[in-house]
Structure 1
Amino acid sequence: MNFYLLKSFVTLAESLHFGAASQELNLSQPALTKQIKRLEEYLGAPLFRRSRHGTDLTEFGRFFLRQAQPLLLDADNVFRQGRRAARGELGSLAIGFSFSTVDIVSRVLPQFRLRYPEVEVTLHDLSSAEQMQRLLEGSLQVGFVRLPVHEGLSCQRILSDRLALVVPRSMAGQITSFDVRSIRDLPFLLLQRARAPGLYDHITRFCALHDFHPQVLQHANESLTILSLVGAGVGVSLMHESALRTPGESVVCLPITDPRAQWDVGLTWRTDEPDPVIEKFVELVSAIAPQLAPPALA
């Protein structure tokens, strides 16, 4: 059944005026008359009575109108929702992030939800490597990751991050910067490579450039665990500065100014299949990106 035949019938049945119905449907009266005739032939019974007094529904026409109105209303709603989804106002969005980008997500997400309250958002705490793999597999739609990204993904740089040396507050007077001579013999606490391979490899490369090989006492799965252990005096650590905005009173964070300790963080997504929701999210992040970079520790 042609949807437009049904719409023409309901429009005419509700107005019982060919001129008004034709204008609402943006059809000529002869075209509307042909559509009604086609529908009557398809159904096998007349829908309207036409006389010099005007147009009226037959008994069958009134019955068919009661059947057609809710169907047409549902169809209109389907099209309406479809148009909203095409504008990125409806749908779902799976967002990847890591501990180092929690601050970014916490500032982007409220604005996105305010603008698009009917988009269902889910958050996934993953390393940059895991995010990019899931993006390529299709189980994630956008991610906040360490740059560069894998082939097949698009990205937008948001801010820079860098390494910082974290020491117990009790050692603050003894160690004031990343000086290999003063930290060479200290026990180090680092994140597991499986938890943050990009960060772990960056620390390894950076230390090698300084001819330094940390004496790793303990690996941990969470940055907060490392901060707690450092604060307790168990050892020191090299961490990403973005994880140290509120480190607590028991540790001191010493930024490393060597440019080789720095890397870029950005938003990444797949572009091989356009997605209006992703496009809206990228647009929002692009618009507020200048506001996302937090002040440096020093």
Structure 2
Amino acid sequence: MNSRLRAFVAVAEHHGYGPAAASAAITQPALTKQIQALERELGGTLFARGRHGATLTEFGATLLPQARELVAAGDEFTRRARRLASGAIGRLSLGFGLSTIDLAPRAVAAFRQSYPDVEISLEDLPSAGQVDRIRNGELHAGFVRLPVDVDLAQRVLRRDQLAVASSGPVSGDVPQLIAQRGLVRLGRAKGPGLTGQVDKLCEAWGIQPATLYETHDLQTVLALVAAGVGPALVPATAARIAPAGVTLTALDHPAAVWDVGIAWRPAQDTALVANFLSVLEKAGGRDR
């Protein structure tokens, strides 16, 4: 129907079959057949043919405005469908965690520049929560600790490591210092990956430091360190949000290191996700 309506509008606007066929890059007989088929379908004559070309009948003149609207609506539908299929529009749901508190917003900003018509949501979630939401389709992709299970696609972006956050320079035996002073800690519910990494390192060191204070926000952890409450073990990348007066000393220990990357479900590997991964790569997301 849409091609026949388009033929109807073309003949009406060009006032003849020959010019309309040329503008549509089809033969005049083919165009004539489309008009005849449309007239049979509608049950009336659209054009009267004479020496001066094709003239709209009253029936055709009455239907022409709506035909133009339908053709324009069909064109808009096609344009929107193609943009949706190419990932130029749509909605992209992403997750991020403590280790990517700087990387994720930077990547989203770069993506917005290339795809301004895509709506993006960015949720702060632990890696385990992100993985669950990626699996059930609530998130398209997430910035997570790696590795994740093999049912998800994944790409390493960089390596992070634990650092001692303190209100002054740290020297000497770091494990002994922490064992003696204790730690300001992030709550396990907020950062299970980070707390698990801290536990792993303390176990490797053979210490069980006391908990001086526990909070559910990394910036509060750093603020407490700045206030002199005690040291904390945090991602080295937290230096980007650390307040004045906090010193971060990276720890060179196998138990203090982990990979950070992006994960997504292969079944959701749509144009939106592919475009985001491409922008992430070009924006220097891999800074390992």
| TM-score, normalising length: structure 1 | 0.90
Distance 1:218 1:91 in 2: 43
Counterpart amino acid of 1:209? A
**Aligned-residue offset at 1:66:** 1.4
Distance 1:110 1:224 in 2: 22
Distance 2:135 2:286 in 1: 29
Counterpart amino acid of 1:89? A
Please tell me whether the aligned partners of residues 156 and 286 of structure 2 are also in contact (alpha carbons under 8 angstroms): no
Determine which of 243, 253, 262 is the counterpart of 2:257: 262
> 1:285 aligned to 2:284?
no
**Aligned-residue offset at 1:35:** 1.2
Determine which of 203, 223, 229 is the counterpart of 1:228: 223
Counterpart amino acid of 1:155? Q
Which secondary structure does the structure 1 equivalent of 2:268 belong to? coil
Counterpart amino acid of 2:115? Y
Distance 2:80 2:203 in 1: 56
Distance 1:178 1:37, change over 3 A: farther
Counterpart amino acid of 1:253? L
Distance 1:249 1:274, change over 3 A: closer
Please tell me whether the aligned partners of residues 177 and 256 of structure 1 are also in contact (alpha carbons under 8 angstroms): no
Please tell me whether the aligned partners of residues 127 and 144 of structure 2 are also in contact (alpha carbons under 8 angstroms): yes
Counterpart amino acid of 1:10? V
Counterpart amino acid of 1:263? W
Who is 1:70 aligned against?
69
> 1:247 aligned to 2:246?
no
Distance 2:22 2:207 in 1: 81
Listed as ranges, the matches of 1:93-132 within 5 Å are: 93-132=92-131
Distance 1:91 1:177 in 2: 54
User: Over aligned residue pairs, what C-alpha RMSD do you find?
Assistant: 1.8
Distance 1:44 1:177, change over 3 A: farther
Who is 1:296 aligned against?
none
Who is 2:183 aligned against?
188
Which secondary structure does the structure 1 equivalent of 2:283 belong to? helix
Who is 2:89 aligned against?
90
- How many residue pairs match? The answer is 288
Which secondary structure does the structure 2 equivalent of 1:184 belong to? helix
**Aligned-residue offset at 1:213:** 1.7
Unaligned runs of 5+ in 1: 294-298
**Aligned-residue offset at 1:27:** 2.5
Who is 2:193 aligned against?
198
Who is 1:162 aligned against?
161
Please tell me whether the aligned partners of residues 219 and 241 of structure 2 are also in contact (alpha carbons under 8 angstroms): no
Distance 1:90 1:218 in 2: 46
Distance 1:63 1:92, change over 3 A: same
Counterpart amino acid of 2:181? L
**Aligned-residue offset at 1:245:** 2.6
Counterpart amino acid of 1:78? F
Please tell me whether the aligned partners of residues 165 and 177 of structure 1 are also in contact (alpha carbons under 8 angstroms): no
Which secondary structure does the structure 2 equivalent of 1:268 belong to? strand
Listed as ranges, the matches of 1:37-56 within 5 Å are: 37-56=36-55
Please tell me whether the aligned partners of residues 147 and 264 of structure 1 are also in contact (alpha carbons under 8 angstroms): yes
**Aligned-residue offset at 1:46:** 0.4
Which secondary structure does the structure 1 equivalent of 2:102 belong to? helix
Determine which of 267, 271, 277 is the counterpart of 2:266: 271
Please tell me whether the aligned partners of residues 158 and 286 of structure 2 are also in contact (alpha carbons under 8 angstroms): no
Distance 1:177 1:111, change over 3 A: farther
Distance 1:197 1:40 in 2: 69
> Which range moves more in the overlay, 9-18 or 158-167?
9-18
Which secondary structure does the structure 2 equivalent of 1:138 belong to? coil
Unaligned runs of 5+ in 2: none
Distance 1:66 1:84 in 2: 27
Distance 1:137 1:226 in 2: 32
Which secondary structure does the structure 2 equivalent of 1:69 belong to? helix
**Aligned-residue offset at 1:177:** 5.6
Distance 1:270 1:199, change over 3 A: same
What whole-Å deviation, never above 9, does each CA across 1:47-74 have from its counterpart, x for those lacking one?
A: 0111243221111111111121112111
Counterpart amino acid of 1:223? L
